[in-house]
Amino acid sequence: MTSEFSLVEPAIDPNNRIAFLLDWELTLKCNLDCSYCKTGHDNSTRHPALIDCLKTIDFMYRYVDLYMSKKPKGLKHVILNVYGGESLYHPEIVEILKSCKDAYAFFQDKWKLTITTTTNAIIPDKKMSAIIDLVDEFTCSFHSESSDKQKILFRKNLLKIRDSGRRVKCIVLMHSQKDLFQESLEMIEWCKKNGIKHLPRQLDDGNLSNGKFKRKYDNQQIIWFDKQYKNKSYNIKQTVLEDFVDTENTNLSAIGRACCGGRQLCISGDRSQRHFFIKNHFPDWYCSVDEFFLYIKQVQGEIYVNKDCMMNHDGDIGPIGRLSDVDKLLESTTLRLENNDSLPIRCKKSSCYCGLCAPKAKDYETFKKTMELYRTK
């Protein structure tokens, strides 16, 4: 486990560039019902109307353009992640993805855009064929709780994406149930055999209110995670999880975590070491999560800084605006960015999940000095 530290930054990696992530939760409908999914889907809802989705695309690009104007040239990169629920099941998804590309034409000389989708990739061949050229990169999540038929289709679609020349990454969600953990290991081996980039990911949170699933890992699984995290770190000799071996069960997310996108992290300004797994508790730290993330809940019409922390600029947990009044948010954001002395978000959460890689510091002066690297002067 990493020792105490007072600063976190993403490591410099040309294969995993620092970007601004537009997380667009397009729909809540999903064709799976995984026990570890808390609020990720709700099949009682309707798919949002196409016209409302097109308005959201326009807002997202205008919003991120404000931030790109404050970024140095090497950081003018935006990733639009279209997901759900299961976004590829939206009946208008082809038109929506086409509009994402068309609307970008106005901004293409100002910043780079990558369109990605986080999907379970369990869709018919005809629909996949219609979508595949509209997405730059697919992030496909393997769910061991899906049916055998769905797993066959999942693998078929991964191979189809790979063969199309599109970038594809398989996120293998490591289930703590022993037989499903083993099945996840087999999926990793399948990805290796078929030349598909993959990333094993621990499941966050130890308990669910519905009691269906508790994400705690046993000793053997902890040893496996420990080896993975150590291998993905750089110049780190200590065993990452050695203090938790021989415990009865371990909730990894209560200890720390790795970046969702597999990014290595630097702590306390030391770039000679790169950590893959770090403590994830930052109470009262100053954080730049708002300068690297935006989260849209299309069904609810809510706009947040980030999908997990949900901190706002008033020091509270809550939305920063609504889709019904985006002009108000664009105006306030413009004014805030023009005021370089405005205070950053200060964390009020007990644990950090998505947003872990955003530069953050324990004291304001360190934060302010560090952020000079990520802003234009």
SS3 per residue for 64-133: HHHHHCCCCHHHCEEEEEEECCCHHHCCCHHHHHHHHHHHHCCCCCCCEEEEEEEECCCCCHHHHHHHHH
Cα 107 to Cα 18: distance, rounded to the nearest angstrom: 19
Q: Strand 20-25 vs strand 77-83: parallel, antiparallel, or unpaired?
A: parallel
Q: Does 371 reside within a domain?
A: no
In a domain, 77, yes or no: yes
- The pLDDT assigned to 117 comes to 97
Contacts of 314 (CB under 8 A, 6+ apart): none
Helix 326-338 crosses helix 50-68 at what angle (to 10 degrees)?
10
pLDDT for position 205: 63
Per-residue confidence (pLDDT) for residue 59, from 0 to 100: 98
Give residues with Cβ within 8 angstroms of 308, minimum separation 6: 352, 353, 354, 355
Residue 287 main-chain phi, psi, to 5 deg: -135, 145
Cα gap 307→23, rounded to integer Å = 8
CB 240 within 8 A of CB 230: yes
pLDDT given at position 3: 56
Q: What is the pLDDT of residue 283?
A: 92
- Residue 341 has what pLDDT? 57
| Cα gap 19→305, rounded to integer Å | 15
Q: Does some domain include residue 196?
A: yes
Q: Residues 110-119, buried b or exposed e (16+ Cβ, 10 A)?
A: ebebbbbbbb
Q: Domain count for the chain, please give it.
A: 1
Instruction: Please say whether the beta carbons of 82 and 115 come within 8 A.
Output: yes
Choose among 314, 302, 307: nearest CA to 346.
314
In a domain, 280, yes or no: no
Q: State the pLDDT at residue 44.
A: 84
Structural domain includes residue 298: yes
pLDDT confidence of residue 288:
95
Taking the alpha carbons at both ends of the chain, their separation in whole angstroms is 36
**Is the alpha carbon torsion for 135, 289, 34, 172 positive or negative?**
positive
Q: Which pLDDT value is given to residue 321? A: 97
User: In the structure encoding, which two tokens stand for residue 96, read together?
Assistant: 């929506």
The angle at the Cα of 145, spanning 295 to 34, to the nearest 5 degrees, equals 35
Which residues are CB-neighbours of 62 under 8 A, at least 6 positions away?
Answer: 326, 330
- Domain encompassing residue 203: 18-222+288-345
Backbone angles phi, psi at 360, to 5 degrees: -150, 150
Rounded to two decimals, the pTM is 0.91
Could you tell me if residue 98 is inside a domain? yes
Consecutive 10-residue runs of the chain (377 residues): their mean pLDDT? Answer: 80 87 96 82 89 98 97 96 94 97 97 97 95 97 96 97 96 94 97 96 61 69 87 72 62 81 90 88 94 96 94 92 97 88 84 92 94 89
Give the C-alpha separation, 183 to 201, whole Å: 14
Give the helix ranges, DSSP H, for the chain: 50-68, 93-104, 125-131, 148-164, 178-193, 219-232, 326-338, 364-370
Neighbouring CB atoms inside 10 A of 353's CB total 16
CATH number of the domain enclosing 121 = 3.20.20.70
Residue 139 lies in a domain: yes
Q: What is the spatial distance between Cα 69 and Cα 62, in angstroms, rounded to a whole number?
A: 11
- What is the arrangement of strands in the sheet containing 137-142, beginning at the earlier edge strand? 197-202, 167-174, 137-142, 112-119, 77-83, 20-25, 293-297, 302-304, 321-322
